[in-house]
Structure 1
Amino acid sequence: MLNRIDLRGSHRDPRGLLPRAQLDVSTAVEKIRPVVEAVREHGFSAIREATERFDGVVLERLRVPKEAITAAVDNLEPDVRAALLVVIERARKVHGDQRRTDITTQVVPGGTVIERHVPVSRVGLYVPGGLAVYPSTVVMNVVPAQVAGVESLVVASPPQPENGGLPDARVLAACALLGVDEVYAVGGAQAVAMLGYGSDGADEDDRCAPVDVITGPGNIWVTAAKRLLQGTVGIDSEAGPTEIAILADSTASPVHVAADLISQAEHDPLAASVLVTDSPELAEAVEAQLAVQVPATKHEARVREALGGRQSGVVFVDDLEQGLRVVDAYAAEHLEIQTRDARALAMRVRNAGAIFVGAYSPVSLGDYAAGSNHVLPTAGCARHSSGLSVQSFLRGIHVIEYDEAALRETAPHVVALANAEDLPAHGQAVTARFPS
């Protein structure tokens, strides 16, 4: 079922050899550019047209009525409500420890620099709704923004024809539990454009004001729109189709490994499931387990397509040292370590969105109830980007204050560097304060 890549004995850079989905975001950007430009120029009418074309829903209004949000939480299944409350509590605990305090540094007597951590004013939080629905993603987006102190939060999620053209009721219920009442029934590239540029609506109360930052995962069209809007707004990262990599040796349970590969494959036919191992025996046992477990899963066709795609596979390595190099090169969204001394190996990993250590820390725990955040960089972006956190919604601002004596003492250094860079007016701006 899984493709096989043998890197044993190889000293080549593995990046070009590893399984990857062929997702050309640059091409997708050009395809969605007309949609984004139409929303910027025409607002509500362009959003209506795109939503009818892509989602099969005719929007009468952009914004979800508050009574629909209240009704969603009132009608929520008790076990789902209880689970969401646990997820919210744990996420607040973890993200609460990420709060930052202002730092004051006395550089010289009479001269200080204060680094302030100031939240952005307004954020747009995207919650996908394609092959699955994600009330947990509401929590992962909203909690760090609230902890950061963001004053204005807006959620956008695709309309569901089976829910009367509103986002999924469980998504709305999660918004209600978190106290978010500005929710828009808009998805895809048109939602990102609406958040970035703002839009008129059916009336004055239906308008969406532009945001400062857009976060949240989505399909390739959402990812492309975020790339296109970057600069107009800040974004968290390019979080596209999900992926899991598992570094495992002969001590790993093939039952666990197979189940974890399947768990991410059920998201999307483009989801990536990659096993990196130095044990051919484990790989054979995992394949045998997949043959048993895949037919028993609800989304069998989707899982088979994902596991059999070029983005998934087994990568054979000589030993765990080479395995570490391979998973660092892959830079997985989710990385599981199921080996001897798993924690020691995990602490040596440099590139991953999140790392799950040992037999009892599966990725699905992090998707829901670990307390960590599941909005993570994909497609190798973990080499340079982080998962969503409180820091995603904060800006560091330096506040500089020097008194007269401190500036006088520093003036010769400023003048020397200003002259070296042929910017003499910079130096004169200092010396003008000290007439001879």
Structure 2
Amino acid sequence: MTKESIRRLNAADQDFDSQLDALLAWESVADTVVEDTVAEILQQVRERGDEAVVEYTNRFDRRQLQSAEDFTLSATALTSALERIPEAERKALEVAAARVRDYHQHQLQESWQYRESDGTVLGQQITPMERVGIYVPGGKASYPSSVLMNAIPAKVAGVDCVTMVVPAPDGQLNDLVLAAAAIAGVDQVYTIGGAQAVAALAWGTKSIARVDKIVGPGNVFVAAAKRAVFGRVAIDMIAGPSEILVICDGKTDPDWIAMDLLSQAEHDQQAQSILLSSDAAFLDAVSASLGKLLDDLPRRDIAAQSLADRGALIQVKSIEEAITVSNRIAPEHLEVSVDQPENYLPKIRHAGAIFLGRHTAEALGDYCAGPNHVLPTSGTARFSSPLGVYDFQKRSSIIYCSPEGADRLGRVATTLARGEGLDAHARSAEYRVTGD
């Protein structure tokens, strides 16, 4: 890899804004062929249920299913996988799960109420969703960490039933994924994927109960299906390619920073890795490290394409300017590899997850630090947040009027309702008015 294999930008250049816009440009699922295919699958599953799920699963995943029983896994299958995996992997999953569970326990919201002077009670009741579906990639792209990150917050929230769908192309299932499901407390597992799995979760079939929310990553067909069923069920987000943005003062080992950039680039060719620094010589050093370290990666071709197409080393005049640029980008992952990084935290407005200090590799957040690795991408950190317990809890308002409160509020409501021309509203409130 040469220096030219990853672009160099300078925030001082007159056309920097347009260059940055071009770098960040990415269109989510917009292929009409994909959308038309997904629409047909959703309709068929909605109309024919399990029969359509079996048909599409056999076609796309090269299976020979005969009925829904063939894609339903028992609890024994999960515990058996947990027993089969090497002890080191089992312990690693257990440690990661414990840390994820502990972190998300801190997110639990509680119901609250307060009483006004006339006896009226107002408040909010927090309740968990009843059923949640989690989509987990299968086959070669098997991620047990995704099972933990999606299922554990739901269980901490108190969701009654967590249903996992995971494709098994050619009948292949990953023991680590099944073991993670056992550790996370997943209640039901179906070995199906694609748009047909999303449809089954959204509408329900004879064998698969309809869920209230669908979370988890998938390919373009899964993303398109999630977008299409949104409104019938809730979804977590439409995720774009993985991203990392590193702000460095030039004092961190360039090999460390280069490998942090590569950790995202190896995801896929559309992943994005960006480094911001005021030290031009450090940018040169990181570029050299990228060339040196890339050759040793099993996924070097994917990472090299990602860096060439969407990566950048950007020179800025200061850490403050780097934060300004970062806030504009609103990255999924933000590393602040500088002295006393906590001093800059109040200035960071938009980021999915913030990794402070030279020793805090983003990869720790992917697996075992504790916070969720399901994060907003493509600039959506400007208005959205990481997946958490709050995504699986609902809030209901509580209003309990005393006679005095009904009299006081009824007068206000009556006036406003008549102002809106809604007489029944006004009279409904007026019936409770008891005073003069």
TM-score with structure 1 setting the length: 0.92
Partner deviation per Cα, 1:170-189 (whole Å, 9 max, x = no partner): 11111112332410111222
- Aligned mates of 2:379, 2:19 — CA distance in 1: 9
Deviation of 1:78 after TM superposition, in Å, equals 0.6
**Aligned mate of 2:6, from 2, 5, 8:** 2
Letter of the 2:181 counterpart:
C
**Quick check: 1:328–1:352 contact (8 Å CA) kept in 2?**
yes
**How many residue pairs are counted as aligned between the two chains?**
426
Q: Which residue of 1 aligns with 2:49?
A: 43
- What SS does structure 2 have at the residue aligned with 1:301? helix
Deviation of 1:213 after TM superposition, in Å, equals 0.6
- What SS does structure 2 have at the residue aligned with 1:347? helix
- What SS does structure 2 have at the residue aligned with 1:158? coil
Stretch moving more, 149-158 or 188-197: 188-197
> Is 2:19 the partner of 1:20?
no
**C-alpha distance 71-289 of structure 1, shift in aligned 2 (>3 A):** same
Deviation of 1:155 after TM superposition, in Å, equals 0.8
- The residue correspondences of 1:5-404 to structure 2 (distance < 5 A) are 5-10=9-14, 17=21, 19-20=23-24, 22-27=26-31, 28-60=34-66, 61-129=70-138, 131-161=140-170, 165-200=171-206, 207-309=207-309, 311-404=310-403
Deviation of 1:267 after TM superposition, in Å, equals 1.8
- Aligned mates of 1:406, 1:261 — CA distance in 2: 60
- Aligned mates of 2:19, 2:186 — CA distance in 1: 42
**Quick check: 1:245–1:334 contact (8 Å CA) kept in 2?**
yes
- Aligned mates of 2:298, 2:222 — CA distance in 1: 26
Letter of the 2:368 counterpart:
A
Partner deviation per Cα, 1:293-352 (whole Å, 9 max, x = no partner): 11011211221122222x322233232222112111211111111123322223321111
Stretch moving more, 351-360 or 21-30: 21-30
- Aligned mates of 1:15, 1:225 — CA distance in 2: 33
**C-alpha distance 130-316 of structure 1, shift in aligned 2 (>3 A):** farther
Letter of the 1:91 counterpart:
V
- Aligned mates of 1:211, 1:399 — CA distance in 2: 25
Partner deviation per Cα, 1:27-66 (whole Å, 9 max, x = no partner): 3444522222222222223323333343333334221233
- Aligned mates of 1:15, 1:347 — CA distance in 2: 28
**Quick check: 1:21–1:270 contact (8 Å CA) kept in 2?**
no
TM-score with structure 2 setting the length: 0.92
- What SS does structure 1 have at the residue aligned with 2:121? strand
| Aligned alpha-carbon RMSD (Å) | 2.1
Letter of the 1:336 counterpart:
E
Letter of the 1:39 counterpart:
V
Letter of the 2:158 counterpart:
G
- Gaps of at least 5 residues in structure 1 are 201-206
**Quick check: 1:64–1:166 contact (8 Å CA) kept in 2?**
no
Letter of the 2:212 counterpart:
D
Identity of aligned residues (%): 36
Deviation of 1:364 after TM superposition, in Å, equals 0.6
Deviation of 1:10 after TM superposition, in Å, equals 4.8
- Aligned mates of 1:279, 1:144 — CA distance in 2: 41
Stretch moving more, 11-20 or 338-347: 11-20
Deviation of 1:131 after TM superposition, in Å, equals 4.7
- Gaps of at least 5 residues in structure 2 are none
- Aligned mates of 1:329, 1:47 — CA distance in 2: 43
**Quick check: 1:338–1:359 contact (8 Å CA) kept in 2?**
yes
